């Protein structure tokens, strides 16, 4: 399935480039498409909605990850 393959490729890109993402997108949610960040923000709903509007894809088809600074306690 092409969508699933693209989703995983973008998700893996985000994980592989996590340290670089931390430099620019610390403590933000980021949406990734075609191996680049297309939207970043502190509200996951906003990031998913904006990414969906920009790409015309369903929110579930766009990988979104939280880029931690490392200072969060769970």
Domain segments of the chain: what residues?
A: 2-67
For position 69, what pLDDT does the model report? 85
Q: Do 47 and 22 form a contact (C-beta atoms < 8 A)?
A: no
The CB-side HSE value for 56 (13 A sphere, CA atoms) comes to: 0
Question: Could you read off the pLDDT of 13-71 as tens digits, one per residue?
Answer: 999 999 999 999 999 999 999 999 999 999 999 999 999 999 999 999 999 999 998 76
| pLDDT of 74 higher than 60 | no
Secondary structure (H, E, C), 17-69: CHHHHHHHHCCEEEEEECCEEEEEECCHHHHHHHHHHHHCCCHHHCCEEEECC
At residue 70, the pLDDT reads 73
Give the pLDDT of residue 67. Answer: 97
Q: How far apart, in whole angstroms, are the C-alpha atoms of residue 41 and residue 26?
A: 10
Note the pLDDT of residue 71.
Answer: 64
Q: What is the pLDDT of residue 73?
A: 55
């Amino acid at each position: 399935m092409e969508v699933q393959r693209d989703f995983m490729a973008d998700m893996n890109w985000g994980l592989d480039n996590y340290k670089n993402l931390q430099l620019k997108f610390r403590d933000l949610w980021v949406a990734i498409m075609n191996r680049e960040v297309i939207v970043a923000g502190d509200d996951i709903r906003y990031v998913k909605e904006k990414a969906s509007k920009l790409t015309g894809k369903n929110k579930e088809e766009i990988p979104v990850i939280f880029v931690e600074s490392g200072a969060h306690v769970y």
